[in-house]
C-alpha cells in the first residue's frame, strides 16, 4: 500500500490597497490577480504641482522628431508654453525641434530637475539607473507606461517618481488651460497663470 503525501502549497502574504494583508496559496488565481494590481501610489496632485513649480529644467528621454509621436507633442508644448529649459535625449538623431539632441542623460550640460520618460515599460529600470547616476531628483514616466517595481526601486533610492501621467496634461491642467483629460476647456480667464 502506498501513501500519498501532499506537500503544503506555498503561501503568500498579499498586501491589499487598504493596507490590510491576507495569506493565500501563491498559485491561486486570486493571489495572482492581487499581485498584478497596482498598489504603488505616486505623488498627489498637490505634490505634482509642487514638482512642476520648483523645476527649471526638463530632459525628455525618448524624444522624437516625428510629429505624430506623443513625445513630439509634449516637447512642442513645453517649448511654447513653459519657461523650462528643455533638453532632448535620443541617441538616434542630432536635432529635434531645432535643438540639439543628446545621446544620453550623462551628456546633458546640466542635471535636469525632471527627467520625462517616453520609453517602453521594460526600459524604465535602466532609465532610472541613468537618472540615479547623474543625480537627478525626479523621474516622470509618461501616460500609459507603468512599472511598479521600477517605481518602488526609484523611490527606495531617493527619487521622486511620477508614473503613468502626462507632464503636458498635468502642466496645462494646473495652469487653467485644460480639462482633467487634457482637452482645451475654452476657458478665458483674467487670473494670472501659475508657472
Give tens-digit pLDDT for 25-49. Answer: 777 777 666 666 677 889 999 999 9
CA dihedral sign, ordered 145, 75, 128, 178: negative
**What does the DSSP assignment read for 7-21?**
PPPPEEEEE-TTS-E
CA dihedral sign, ordered 13, 158, 116, 184: positive
With cell 492581487, the residue in question is: 34
pLDDT over 50 at 2, yes or no:
no
- 3 vs 23: which has the higher pLDDT: 23
**pTM value?**
0.74
pLDDT for the residue 31: 67
Domains of the chain by start residue, with CATH: 7-37 (no CATH), 45-174 (3.40.50.720)
Q: Tell me the C-alpha distance between 58 and 102, whole Å.
A: 13
Q: Tell me the C-alpha distance between 3 and 94, whole Å.
A: 71
- 3-state DSSP call for residue 65? coil
Give tens-digit pLDDT for 118-129. Answer: 999 999 999 999
Q: Residue 172 — pLDDT band, cuts 50, 70, 90? A: confident
Mean pLDDT of 48-77: 95
Amino acid at each position: 500500500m502506498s501513501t500519498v503525501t501532499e506537500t503544503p502549497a506555498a503561501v503568500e502574504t498579499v498586501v491589499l490597497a487598504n493596507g490590510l494583508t491576507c495569506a493565500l496559496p501563491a498559485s491561486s488565481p486570486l493571489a495572482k490577480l492581487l499581485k498584478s494590481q497596482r498598489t504603488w501610489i505616486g505623488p498627489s496632485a498637490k505634490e505634482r504641482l509642487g514638482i512642476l513649480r520648483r523645476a527649471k529644467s526638463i530632459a525628455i528621454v525618448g524624444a522624437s522628431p516625428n510629429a505624430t509621436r506623443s513625445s513630439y507633442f509634449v516637447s512642442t508644448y513645453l517649448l511654447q508654453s513653459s519657461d523650462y529649459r528643455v533638453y532632448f535625449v535620443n541617441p538616434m538623431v542630432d536635432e529635434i525641434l531645432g535643438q540639439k539632441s543628446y545621446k544620453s542623460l550623462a551628456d546633458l550640460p546640466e542635471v535636469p530637475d525632471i527627467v520625462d520618460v517616453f520609453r517602453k515599460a521594460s526600459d524604465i529600470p535602466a532609465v532610472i539607473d541613468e537618472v540615479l547616476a547623474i543625480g537627478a531628483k525626479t523621474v516622470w514616466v509618461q501616460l500609459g507606461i507603468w512599472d511598479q517595481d521600477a517605481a518602488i526601486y526609484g523611490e527606495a533610492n531617493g527619487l521622486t517618481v511620477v508614473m503613468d501621467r502626462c507632464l503636458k496634461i498635468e502642466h496645462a491642467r494646473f495652469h487653467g488651460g485644460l480639462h482633467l483629460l487634457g482637452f482645451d476647456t475654452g476657458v478665458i480667464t483674467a487670473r494670472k497663470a501659475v508657472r
